[in-house]
């Protein structure tokens, strides 16, 4: 029969063993010098942080989710998103500045699409990651 103390000791012992095993695996003669060549420089890290921060807006992500499926005009986006055309246009302008969307004019209509395949792959990778079940 496990008492409270023996159970706690067993869990703590197991955790310590896992930590020690992890440290042994992760510290086996690793030469960190080559890693310094791969380190992201501060300027690029800052730009990337700003980029990911910019994507931290639910409405922008909802727009990207629609454009990942189809090229759409502002009116269609506004109708599907249940937002005003002005609000959608404002978000699209910001997305254009960040080179996430581009557009083409056809008569008096402006159709928006994802800027390139990188944007599509980034969107798909994040969506797939969010949908994964926690394996831990």
Output the tens digit of pLDDT for each of the chain's 136 residues: 444 444 445 444 555 555 555 555 555 667 777 788 888 999 999 999 999 999 999 999 999 999 999 999 999 999 999 999 999 999 999 999 999 999 999 999 999 999 999 999 999 999 999 999 876 5
Q: What is the pTM of this model?
A: 0.71
* 88-127 residues labelled b (16+ CB within 10 A) or e (exposed): bbebbeebeeeebbbbeeeeeeebbbbbeeebeebbeeee
- At the topology level, CATH places domain 46-131 in Arc Repressor Mutant, subunit A (1.10.10)
Domain positions in the chain: 46-131
Give the pLDDT of residue 8: 45
* N-term to C-term CA, the chain: 28
Give the pLDDT of residue 133: 81
């Amino acid at each position: 029969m496990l008492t409270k103390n023996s159970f706690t000791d067993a869990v703590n012992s197991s955790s310590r063993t896992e930590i020690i095993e992890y440290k042994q695996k992760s510290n086996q003669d690793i030469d960190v010098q080559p890693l310094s060549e791969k380190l992201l420089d501060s300027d690029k890290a800052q730009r990337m942080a700003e980029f990911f921060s910019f994507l931290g807006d639910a409405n922008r992500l909802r727009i990207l989710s629609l454009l990942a499926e189809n090229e759409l005009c502002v009116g269609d986006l506004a109708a599907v998103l249940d937002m005003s055309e002005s609000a959608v246009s404002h978000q699209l302008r910001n997305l254009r500045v960040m080179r996430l969307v581009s557009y083409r004019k056809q008569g008096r209509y402006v159709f928006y699409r994802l800027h390139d395949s990188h944007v599509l792959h980034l969107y798909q990778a994040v969506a797939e990651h969010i949908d994964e079940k926690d394996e831990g």
